[in-house]
Structure formats: structure tokens, C-alpha cells
Amino acid sequence: MANGGRITGQGGPAVDDLARLHARLLRDRSLQFDFTADRPPPAFHTPAWLKALGDWLVAAAPLLKVLFWIGVAVAVLLAVWLIIREVAGVRFARRRRARAARPTPVDWRPDARKARALLENADRLAALGRYDQAVRLILHRGVEDIDARRPAVLRPALTARDIAALAAVPAPARGAFARIAAIVEFSAFAGRPIGQDAFAQCRAAYEAFVSPEAWA
């Protein structure tokens, strides 16, 4: 048969060209023509120990289920117990702080022996006519009585009038101290000397200041 001027019948030039091309294609090592089937992977054989473990888990499944729910119950009870303990601890801590915040009653009565010694010294000064020194001695002793029992209450900046207004001092003792402070301030600021009557009032005020009734 004619094809573009060339005979393509059997044994013709076109057949020879095809044969040469086919042979050259087969010699090309970059191409693969032999497709062998992949070998199947080897069969997996379960180890004996793994099979034994699986059999044991299957047999123990009911027991494991019971143990699981027991563990859940224990965890819940533990959580409840921790919550109760925390709440109870907070409440007890508040109660302890409340008890600690309550001030403990303190016996604020000045020492009777020291009070008598002070009055004796004041009387000796008064007998010498040194009434100003006598009333200042009584005032300073009153401040020391308060400071000895409540050192955190007094501050250097406080005046005698400020001390007389302290709420930490019982009202009767506070009033007696205020009378002492007023007499001393009258002498210091008014520039008037203290007489026997003013000293007697200051002495009586200190006796009231140190009395048990003033500090009850």
C-alpha cells in the first residue's frame, strides 16, 4: 500500500524503521518494561505474650470495670473532703483572727507603792513652796503610769491634753489625768505660779487617778 510515496506493506521500509525504533527503545535503561507484581508482606504473627495479655484482659474485664468505678468514687470523695477541709480551715482561721483581735483586759492600776512614794516626794516639794515642780512631777508620773502599761499608745508628739483624751485609758482615770494636765498647763501657759490650793487639787486628782475604781 502506498503512503506518501513509501510502501508500508510487510517487509517494506516503514516496517524496518519501526523495528529499529523498537529495538532502540528496548535498549534504553532509563525505561522499565518488566513490571513484576509486588510481593505481599509477610503475615503478622501475634506474640504469645500479647495474646495471653489480651485473653487476660477479656477475662478480667468485669473486675476491671468494678475497679474503675471504685476509683471514680474514691476520687469524688477525695475532692469533696478537700473542699470541706478548705472551707472549714477558712472558717477556723477567721475565728482565730477574731479571737486574736479581741483585746485582752489589762490591769492598768498603777503600783500603789510607787504612787505613795511619788506623793511623798510631791509633798516634800510642796513643803518647800515648790508647788510648780510638785505638780509637774505628778503629771510626769501619770504619763509614765500610762506608758508603762500601754507603750504603743503614747507618741512623742502627744501633749498632756492629747493623752487625757486617749480612748485607751478608762474614763475615770482619763478625767483625773485631765484635771492634773489642766492645772499644769494653767501654770505653764498663763505664767501664774501654782499655790497650795492648786497643788492640793492636783494631788487629789492623782489619788483618784491611781485608785482601783478609776481603772476598773
Kindly report, residue by residue over 90-108, the tens digit of the pLDDT: 666 666 665 554 444 445 5
**Is 205 inside a domain boundary?**
yes
What pTM does this model have?
A: 0.47
Kindly report, residue by residue over 45-72, the tens digit of the pLDDT: 777 887 888 888 888 888 888 889 999 9
pLDDT over threshold 60, residue 3: no
**Is 90 inside a domain boundary?**
no
**Is 20 inside a domain boundary?**
no
pLDDT over threshold 70, residue 200: yes
**Is 121 inside a domain boundary?**
yes
pLDDT over threshold 60, residue 37: no
Per-residue pLDDT, 149: 72
Number of domains in the chain: 1
Kindly report, residue by residue over 166-197, the tens digit of the pLDDT: 888 888 888 888 899 888 887 777 667 888 88
**Is 23 inside a domain boundary?**
no
The domain of 189 spans 112-215
**Is 159 inside a domain boundary?**
yes
**Is 105 inside a domain boundary?**
no
**Is 24 inside a domain boundary?**
no
115: Cα separation from own chain's centroid: 47
